[in-house]
Amino acid sequence: MKFYFKGRTKTGEIQEGLVNALNESYALNALAKKGLVVLKLEKRETEKFSPIAFLWKIWERPSAKDFVIFSRQLAVLIDSKVSLLAALATISEQMENRFFALRVRSIMSDVDGGLSFSEALEKYPDTFSKFYVNMVKAGETSGNLNKVLNDLANNIEKNYELTSKLRGAMYYPGFIFSAMIVVGFLVMTFVMPKLLEILKESKATLPIQTRILIFVSDFLASYWWAVGLAMIGAVVGMVYYLRTEDGKNGFDHFVLKVPVIKKILNNIYVARFTENFSVLIQSGLPVTTALLITSDVIGNEVYRKILREAVEAIKKGDNIAKVFVRYEIIPPIVTQMISVGENTGRLDYMMSKITSFYSNEADRMTRNFSTLVEPVIMVILAIGVGILVSAVLLPIYQVATSIK
């Protein structure tokens, strides 16, 4: 929380401003450390919602690169025996992302006000994930904060690579087909009517595909605005639905059943699970806590449910492998390697091996998928062009021949 203060320095100078602190006592201690005799201290209300500030926060949202640089720089400075406050001050002055720099300065004030580093990070869930906060908390407890920060940087880089592969597998076909629909709509609305007008005036008997094309073209030319609004409404409605719990559950189940794509996604989700889980248990967190945190960042409701079930099984005395073996989407080799890791006490080592293998598999399959999709799209385009040719150009040719 924020406190307004007014105080006197040792030289008699009056200073005033704001300080972040856990409570009034921590605020007084923080000001005393600065050599101030506090004359006035008042709690300030939480800032009200501001649309401009909200949009700026979204626009300036820190990227994976920002978090990697922040974590690595902080690790180096702490390893060099620089105090946490001094390290945060140095980093905030060099940051290119203004929003992130302001966040770091707020964290400095919180730490100066008596909070631990992890407690200060926890105040900003819109910037720092539960995964990041718990890793830092584990580093503070073990006294290996610099090592944990380096592990976090490596983890963020690997997760970024996996996310890029996931987007590549999901977005590329969707973008191509969306572009085809838009181009087809524009052609049918603004180009085809001029060509089809020639056929209408010929009074010739037209084939069924041409008559259908004329009907569709006339409809789009007359009601293009309604069709456009319907398409926009459908997209907005779909986006809204996918943000609901039912929508996300349905979509996550659906994509794991689509041929070819499901294999790529399974490889990516397995690699993401093992990467995050191994980093957490290496930092000293209990297995159940590590599984819960990993379930929150896995990005798929099907896998989230499996990991939550594994947590309950461990609490009852079972192990992870016994839960995973019940699900077909978990590759048998993953279950076997986890079982070996649990039995030998080298679970983190086995997880790192699984991560390496499935990350490479996801990369290979994504490249192959892109290579496979391109000719399929070309075939679909060829079919579309063939239909247009048979429906428009052939009747025009027949009319021209009959005139001769």
Chain centre to alpha carbon of residue 26: 36
State which amino acid sits at residue 327: Y
Report the distance separating Cα 268 and Cα 159, nearest Å: 10
Q: What residue has token string 């006197």?
A: 8
Confidence band (pLDDT; 50, 70, 90) for 54? very low
Contact between residue 319 and residue 339 where contact means Cβ atoms under 8 Å apart: yes
Q: Tell me 207's DSSP state.
A: P
Q: Name the H helices within 187-207.
A: 192-202
Per DSSP, what are the bridge partners of residue 42? 4
Domain boundaries, the chain: 2-43, 61-128, 158-404
CATH class of segment(s) 158-404: mainly alpha
Report the distance separating Cα 329 and Cα 266, nearest Å: 7
Report the distance separating Cα 15 and Cα 17, nearest Å: 7
A 10 A CB-CB count for 311 gives 18
pLDDT in tens, 330-374: 889 999 999 999 899 888 889 889 988 988 888 888 778 777 777
Residue 251 in tokens: 């979509």
Q: Tell me 306's DSSP state.
A: H
Chain centre to alpha carbon of residue 378: 31
In which element (H, E) is residue 18 found? strand 14-20
Contact between residue 46 and residue 7 where contact means Cβ atoms under 8 Å apart: no
pLDDT in tens, 252-298: 899 888 887 888 888 888 988 988 888 888 888 888 988 988 888 88
pLDDT in tens, 93-119: 888 888 888 889 888 888 887 888 998
